[in-house]
């Protein structure tokens, strides 16, 4: 162990009050807090299977301009999550974010947490709760869409159930897709006519979630998307995709193309 890595020791009296030792203790305590704050954000997710649920989280980091490290070694993640070798606070599945000792999973919860932390968050009490509501609907949509591609066995790969799951995909395209898109269209419209963001006059983590499912829908169901008469949603998607940090990300090599077999 190098000298730098050795544990610091503080020699002081005990039992006669904090004394001058307290000056030193406070410096250590604040330094530890700061080093936690400055620790890198890490995002645990799969690599090579498409943007997946990880993309909801990436878009929040990217729009906020906050650097993050992609922990996307599939073998290591399999060991941690499938073989249950993860230490620290229990997390069921990726995506998971980690900073210092803090780790958190469940995509809608992660996005809300980061949105609040990075200022991509509504301003009023009512908007905060409506944002929560719309965020839940966004994640219902992606979960139902994904399920349609796994109609026979939702824990197995799409490959192996391509034929059997076709009716579920057809039903999703005919029923849930238009119904939920209509809900998103009118939700957008409810905020001053629908030419800005979902809530108030600032972008939030929910706008980014909606952007992702619109992109996933277009990629997965190009015909249904083209036929969809939802002018506000389509303009919203174009507007958000053109934001400089997001546009740069979508063009980058690191941004994975949609897999085409589960909206992911």
Ligand X SMILES: N[C@@H](CCC(=O)N[C@@H](CS)C(=O)NCC(=O)O)C(=O)O
Name the site residues for ligand X (rule: CB under 6 A).
52-53, 93-95, 105-107, 139
Q: How far is the CB of 244 from ligand X (least distance, A)?
A: 28
Closer residue to ligand X, CB minimum distance, 99 or 243:
99
Contact 129, 114 (CB under 8 A): no
Q: How far is the CB of 146 from ligand X (least distance, A)?
A: 8
HEC string of 111-138 equals: HHHHHHHCCCCCCCHHHHHHHHHHHHHH
Of all residues in the shown chain, the one whose CB is closest to ligand X is 107
Strand-pairing partners, residue 69, are 42
Q: How far is the CB of 188 from ligand X (least distance, A)?
A: 23
Could you write out the DSSP letters of every residue in 156-195?
S-STT-TTTTHHHHHHIIIIIHHHHHHHHHHHHHTTTTSS
| The two structure tokens encoding residue 198 | 């979902």
Q: SS3 helix, strand, coil % of the chain, rounded to 5?
A: 55, 5, 40
Closer residue to ligand X, CB minimum distance, 94 or 148:
94
> Cα(31)–Cα(35) distance, rounded to whole angstroms?
6
Closer residue to ligand X, CB minimum distance, 50 or 194:
50
Q: How far is the CB of 137 from ligand X (least distance, A)?
A: 13
Closer residue to ligand X, CB minimum distance, 95 or 194:
95
Closer residue to ligand X, CB minimum distance, 44 or 221:
44
Q: How far is the CB of 79 from ligand X (least distance, A)?
A: 13
């Amino acid at each position: 162990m190098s000298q730098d890595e050795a544990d610091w020791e503080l020699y002081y009296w005990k039992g006669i009050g904090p004394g001058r030792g307290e000056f030193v203790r406070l410096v250590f305590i604040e330094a530890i807090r700061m080093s936690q704050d400055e620790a890198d954000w890490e995002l645990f997710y799969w690599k090579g299977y498409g943007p997946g649920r990880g993309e909801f989280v990436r878009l929040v980091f990217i729009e906020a301009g906050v650097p993050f490290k992609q922990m996307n070694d599939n073998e290591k993640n399999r060991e941690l999550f499938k073989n249950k070798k993860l230490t620290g606070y229990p997390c069921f599945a990726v995506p998971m974010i980690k900073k210092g000792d803090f780790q958190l999973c469940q995509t809608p919860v992660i996005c809300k947490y980061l949105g609040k932390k990075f200022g991509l968050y509504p301003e009023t009490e009512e908007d905060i709760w409506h944002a929560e509501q719309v965020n839940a609907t966004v994640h219902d949509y992606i979960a139902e869409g994904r399920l349609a591609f796994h109609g026979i066995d939702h824990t197995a790969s799409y490959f192996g159930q391509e034929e059997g799951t076709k009716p579920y995909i057809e039903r999703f395209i005919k029923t849930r897709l238009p119904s939920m898109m209509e809900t998103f269209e009118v939700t957008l419209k409810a905020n001053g006519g629908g030419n800005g963001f979902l809530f108030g006059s600032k972008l939030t983590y929910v706008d980014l979630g909606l952007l992702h499912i619109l992109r996933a829908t277009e990629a997965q169901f190009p015909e249904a998307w083209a036929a969809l008469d939802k002018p506000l949603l389509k303009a919203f998607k174009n507007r958000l995709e053109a934001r400089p940090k997001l546009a740069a990300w979508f063009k980058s090599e690191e941004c994975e193309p949609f897999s085409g077999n589960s909206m992911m």
